[in-house]
Structure 1
Amino acid sequence: MIGVALLKIIRTAQKNSGSKFLVNKQKERNMATNKAIVIVEKGKVEIRELPLPKLKEGHILVKVNAVGINPTDWKSIHNAQPKTFGSRSGCDFAGEVVEVGPGVTKDIKKGDRSAGMVFGASVHAPDTGAFGEYVATKEHVQLKPPASVTDEEAATLGVSVTTVGQGLYKTLKLPLPTKPVATPFPVLIYGGSTATGIYGIKYAKLSGLTVIATSSPHNFALLRSIGADHVFDYKSPTVGADIRALTDNKLKHAWDCTGYGAAICAAALSDNEEGGKPKYATIIPVKREVFDEGNPVVDGPHFTVGYDAYGVAYPRGGKEHVPDPEEAEFARMFWEITQGLLESGKLIPLKPEVNRLGKGLEGVLLGLDELKNDRVSGTKLVYTL
């Protein structure tokens, strides 16, 4: 039998050892650094060595293996204001979970794969950008990619999944891809060859819809191969009228993935309110005058912002914008649906172009310039770290 005094000594030693382990673990986290792309002034970024992102309530820490580039990334750099100087850039990531923070409710553990979206170039959380070796993300805007999906493919999901959910399903209220319609009806996706447009086509087909898309002619075959039923040249002077003729003036839903197709969508949408007003959604603000002049019966424009899905306040339009809490809840639901679609093989990720001009964070810098100068079409640029 161990004496009472000796037992107390052993237990005290064990307790102190455990405390020291926790303290040392925290010290390791505090001392660990990672390279990341940081906005340093308007139009300029640098690769810097930074502390690991802080792991807040409901967040996970991910070792990044691949990142995807979106228009919002170069725009947030090009239009940067002093309040975002020092913020990390980037939204889309894929990698491996290395730590699970407090308050996480989803089944996530260390070693799991993770892919999703973060709030890049954030004013209030400057260490959350995706373009770095580690990223901290909220649990509800990420998923666990199945084995059939590579990290490079998973890095294309983030902004596109969130934006498709907001535009096609929360705003236009199309039938969810888990509950497809028995009788197809048309939907117009303007900008079908953008990464988000490609995903929009894929989801809309899973919803059982007749998909009409616009793009340059060299992308027609690609869009048809992923499910578009009809593809039109967005530069044609009669494209709007041609789509209206195709749909017999019955098109009620249009989603603009570029923000520059309002006039064409107005001309393509029905000018008849029978069966409900036609509706237009966009990812960039559009003036109502476009519809007043071209098709006044249209319900819109309805402008959605992917960052709203993150559920945090941020500056917009000169004031603090507080998203509707329903945005985060909808995003949670739509990401869970997407998890199931990927696992079942119904949703196939778009094929990215990997490491154009280089890899790593240095490659990301070159990719941002490619996207900014409109040299990307029919794919998404992804870089491995």
Structure 2
Amino acid sequence: MDPNSGVGERSTVDLSVNAGHTDVGRLDALARPVDVALERAQTVGVRHAHHLNSAGSALPTVAVVDEVIAHLRREQSEGGYEAAAAVAGRVEELYATAARLLGARPEEIALSDSASTGLRLIVDALRVDATSRILVSRSTYVSHALHLLSLAHETGAELIVLPSAADGGVDLDELARQLTGGPRDIVCVAQVPTSSGLVEPVREIGVLTRESGALYLLDATQSVGHLRVDVDEIGCDALVTTGRKFLRAPRGTGLAYLRGSFLERLAPVAPDVRGAIWTGAREWSLSPTARRFETWESSVAGRLGLAVALNQLLDRGIDATEAYLTSTGALLRHGLAAIDRVTVQDPPASRSGLVTFTIDGISSETVTRRLAVRGVRTVSVPASHGQWDLGLRGVPAVVRASVHVYNNDADHDALLGAVAEIARETGR
């Protein structure tokens, strides 16, 4: 199969996911402002395979990679500190760019090496104790879940896994009943999990947490760069995300948002010279901004690549990006559901570009390997990465396909054709 084939003419066919109906057509027939051909021209990886693993690590553009390599060359010739000083102004601009994307202020942005690191630092700064109540969604990612389980075990804090409603999202009525009022309640939600295409009702959760005075931490690892995310509309106190997924930035990059009023109550457990000043033998002062959570050492090259990726997203438009990814996800679910022996595992509230499925009689890991042999890149997500979701549903693992703006009809057809072939072989 040629990964570059299947680019057809555009038409005005409408495919609306969020309006509650889905008219299924060709990917390249969708009415959209995203120029898929241009995105593919800027993405080397599409020449080598049908890459449907953006929720793992998306394909960066040529410009992102060139930016990273150019700075590494500069470090090679000038030295790391000297090269960093030369681009300090450009790194500084990154805070404003990230703030623009999230609807925040630059001083509310901190940079990190990953979403998991950012979330861990924020939770640790809360100084959870036996009076704390941590309310989490079933969609919680494994690394965050393990951190919270460890904290609850060590401190005696109450950890409550919120049930899901019929559509798969957090049961809002149960959340409202569980909230006791005040900041001892800490609500942690993953907007889009690793284990399905679910989109949690994050704005409705924000309304409930604001009314009760609870703290609200949002894991937006799979949503920033994928869906429109505005921190004021959502009402979260903190948000974390990573660069390597839907932002199409280098690995080892990430960022966090901390609402100004929330930041005032947080002190890092391990202050670093980047975010604090040692003012006396036993005194220190913290940065008044979210940078109090940053560390001195970082990949400057990676952050320059992140800046390029964010600007490319803003130039393309997040609304256009969301419309294309959610529509493409809907097409894949429809196509997979029509294949004999294939079960789409996404709950009803799955309106994203992540699609999960299983094939009867064959493990998801084996399916992923067989797809890879056919040039289709997906990933197998085991229950050990989502025990509160897949584990409680009794699903040992799923195959996850996740799309981006460089995916076209050829990628869609390659996945469906390969899955159908594997399902037929298994059923013989």
TM-score by length of 1: 0.36
- Which of the two has greater helix per residue? 2
User: What is the TM-score of this pair, normalised by structure 2?
Assistant: 0.33
Structure having the higher Rg: 1
